[in-house]
Amino acid sequence: MNTSEIMQLSDKYVMHTYGRIGLAPVRGRGALLWDAEGREYLDFVAGIAVNSLGHCHPAVVQAVQEQVARLLHVSNLYYIENQARLAEILVQNSCADRVFFCNSGAEANEGAIKLARKWAKKQHGPQRYEIITAENSFHGRTLAAITATGQPKYQKGYEPLPEGFKYVPFNDLEALSRAIGPHTCAIMLEPVQGESGVRPATREYLSGVRELCDKHGLLLIFDEVQCGLGRTGKFLAYQHYDVEPDIFTLAKALGGGFPTGAMLAREEVANAFGPGDHAATFGGNPLACAAGLAAMWTTLNDGVLENCNRVGAYFKEKLHDLAGQYDLIKEVRGLGLMLGMELTVPGGDIVNRCRERGLLINCANNTVLRFVPPLIITPEDVDRAVEILDGVLQEQ
């Protein structure tokens, strides 16, 4: 099928829940994608931070192929070797003691919300159920996750929303302190907000949040669905801040492109869940965890984090150079290879023009060009991307 035929078929039969663009990728390798007509694109979207190892990384492909031929799925009624081995890797490289596997970031955050409420009721009584999140946050598309999300545009039309959420300005410790009340059980934050335009928390803010949680007996939940697993140059974004959460969530890069997610917690918090309290039919099945094992082993042992830091710094420097040339660039920010360029104008047209020239990027919060390429990109990939972006900016 060509691109036009794919688009027509999709438009006819698939629910119109996405604002799609006229591109139908059919093949990928590393940082490159090709459409049905064979046109090549440099992919700096990477499935929105999913393909951290690029498209079709050989280690992930081999692991999935071998697992497909051996065992696709069994229920969590049984012990699953790959699940246990992947949990071991995640625990040994984080502050967590236990892992719950699921299928997506939204589902991981749902699990975190449930665990926080369960723990708080056991520790403090039934009056503790409220979770404070940040304005402009994004925690997923399920009903509780969009309610946790501090952006009304995602909640409109789905009222009544679940009770028990409160929102405060991000990076404002005083506002957060004032919001804590007798019903508060947890604070849920992204160390680096992604969907609102790549906004990192300050070190002082996260340290202060940890102190507030300890003072009031609250749980600290970090949503690392987008910023975790090497994206910022450390395995987990909170490791930049020397602030440890009680619960954190993962997805996107966890399966190297295969859909999977996880919610992790310290032992004393995880113990609030007992058998039957929470579950996911497909969560942590042998195939998903085979992909996850290959992806995480490669991320931790194959120089991926070092490359992310080195090339990310180079990329950020190049973006700052562009900021010095064009008045419409307001700010360049971010960590590792999770970078944002805030503009004084909407970024949609720039995204479209970049795509026409073979560079895939996207725009967050209308005015922020978001760059989340594979963590294995080279300085030459950056040069090519910046050259295309520079050419487009000259036309604005």
**Residue 292 belongs to a domain with what CATH number?**
3.40.640.10
Mean of per-residue pLDDT scores for the chain: 97
Q: Give yes or no for residue 396 having a pLDDT over 90.
A: no
Does residue 110 sit within a domain? yes
pTM of the predicted model, to two decimals? 0.97
Please count the structural domains in the chain.
1
* Residue 223 annotated as part of some ligand binding site: yes
* Residue 226 annotated as part of some ligand binding site: yes
pLDDT digits (tens, 9 = 90+) for 272-309: 999 999 999 999 999 999 999 999 999 999 999 999 99
Q: Are the C-beta atoms of 289 and 83 separated by less than 8 Å?
A: yes
pLDDT digits (tens, 9 = 90+) for 214-225: 999 999 999 999
* Residue 138 annotated as part of some ligand binding site: yes
* Residue 3 annotated as part of some ligand binding site: no
Q: Give yes or no for residue 329 having a pLDDT over 90.
A: yes
* Residue 35 annotated as part of some ligand binding site: no
Q: Give yes or no for residue 260 having a pLDDT over 90.
A: yes
Does residue 340 sit within a domain? no
Amino acid 165: pLDDT: 98
Residue 322's alpha-carbon distances to 175, 270, 348, 389, in angstroms, are 35, 47, 18, 9
Does residue 135 sit within a domain? yes
Q: Are the C-beta atoms of 254 and 296 separated by less than 8 Å?
A: yes
Does residue 207 sit within a domain? yes
Averaged pLDDT, 37-62: 98
- Which one is catalytic: 43, 223, 246, 381? 223
Angle, CA of 239, 103 and 137, to the nearest 5°: 50
* Residue 105 annotated as part of some ligand binding site: yes
In 3D space, the residue among 117, 154, 121 whose CA is nearest the CA of residue 139 turns out to be 154
Q: Are the C-beta atoms of 358 and 40 separated by less than 8 Å?
A: yes
* 252 has catalytic annotation: yes
% of residues, the chain, pLDDT over 70:
100
Does residue 164 sit within a domain? yes
* 282 has catalytic annotation: no
Amino acid 115: pLDDT: 98
The torsion region of residue 235 among left (phi > 0), alpha (psi -120 to 50) and beta comes to alpha
pLDDT digits (tens, 9 = 90+) for 150-200: 999 999 999 999 999 999 999 999 999 999 999 999 999 999 999 999 999
Does residue 175 sit within a domain? yes
Averaged pLDDT, 243-259: 98
Structure tokens given for 128 = 């503790």
- Which one is catalytic: 138, 165, 258, 371? 138
pLDDT digits (tens, 9 = 90+) for 345-385: 999 999 999 999 999 999 999 999 999 999 999 999 999 99
Does residue 386 sit within a domain? no
Does residue 294 sit within a domain? yes
Q: Are the C-beta atoms of 129 and 121 separated by less than 8 Å?
A: yes
* 234 has catalytic annotation: no
Q: Are the C-beta atoms of 17 and 43 separated by less than 8 Å?
A: no
> How many other CB atoms sit within 10 Å of the CB of residue 156?
9
- Which one is catalytic: 43, 101, 118, 252? 252
* Residue 141 annotated as part of some ligand binding site: yes
Domain of residue 269 covers: 62-73+80-299
